[in-house]
Amino acid sequence: MTREELVAQIAKKKSFLCVGLDVDLNKIPEHLLKEEDPIFAFNKAIIDATAPYCVAYKPNLAFYEAFGVKGIQAFEKTVSYLKENYPEQFVIADAKRGDIGNTSKMYARTFFGEYNVDALTVAPYMGEDSVTPFLDGYDGKWVILLALTSNKGSFDFQLTEDENGERLFEKVIKKSRQWGNDENMMYVVGATRGEMFKDIRKVAPNSFLLVPGVGAQGGSLEEVCKYGMIKDCGLLVNSSRGIIYASNGTDFAEIAGQKAKELQAEMEALLQS
């Protein structure tokens, strides 16, 4: 999906919401466990209920791999379901991959070639040749590089200043902008520190940012927009647990839809202001 197409969806839906599909069998409604594929049954219901209010879905691979072959099948089915029924949705595989060149090439083939997702999250630690295999030859596909994450551990290395006062996340953004561009590379920037978006926008003025940490992790949507929003929005804000586990009764999908709708309404107001 091109940036233009993504931006058109945001304008149409008045939403820049991404729904995180982090399905935990211990948290989904009990009645679904009787289904042949409970993970897919859960996702399908959540997708049908939330699709009008969001522009992206983000399954995190950890939650699928945890169930071995069955989990991978549920992931494949979920992506196929989205591609067939909601082709306008931007599908992000949250896998945080990254390895030496020939290995990253294999991951790229898997996620872009086989699964046909629109974007993959990638970890930057191994540098250029671990990232570029995801860019070369995959038109309309995106790398979403970890820059400043939403967890406590982000303080350990990402904020380390070099001899010139440049922090690691800034260096990651600056360097990687030589490998990709604003049409094929986004950055993960956690919502838990809204004012940091000012600094991010200094080094990535025109990049799309994938923002986790709103909701369960405590980030403020308003702050993120205040400091991070640009002309064509430039934000995809993710919510996982706050939407998909809002209820674990038989009304789980309905309540998830309501929660997504509430966020969409907030986003609509923020897009207008």
- Cite the active site residues: 96
Considering only 80, 160, 181, 250, the residue that binds a second copy (CB under 8 A) is: 160
The label of the residue with tokens 């999906």 reads 1
When asked if residue 235 is in the footprint of a second copy (CB under 8 A), the reply is no
Piece of the chain touching a second copy by CB under 8 A; list 81-89, 160-168, 219-227, 264-272 = 160-168
Interface characters, 70-109, with a second copy (x: CB under 8 A): --xx--x-----------------x-xxxxxx-xx-xx-x
Neighbours of 254 (CB within 10 A): 14
- Cα angle 43, 45, 48 (rounded to 5 degrees) comes to 105
When asked if residue 33 is in the footprint of a second copy (CB under 8 A), the reply is no
Strand-strand pairing, 185-189 and 142-148: parallel
Q: Which residues contact 242 (CB under 8 A, 6 or more apart)?
A: 214, 215, 216, 259
Could you tell me if 65 and 72 are in contact, meaning their C-beta atoms sit under 8 angstroms apart?
yes
Considering only 156, 198, 222, 265, the residue that binds a second copy (CB under 8 A) is: 156
When asked if residue 218 is in the footprint of a second copy (CB under 8 A), the reply is no
Touching a second copy, residues 43-72 (CB under 8 A): 60, 62-63, 65-66, 68-69, 72
CA distance 20 to 94: 9
When asked if residue 4 is in the footprint of a second copy (CB under 8 A), the reply is no
In the bound complex, what is the minimum distance in angstroms from residue 165's beta carbon to a second copy?
Answer: 8
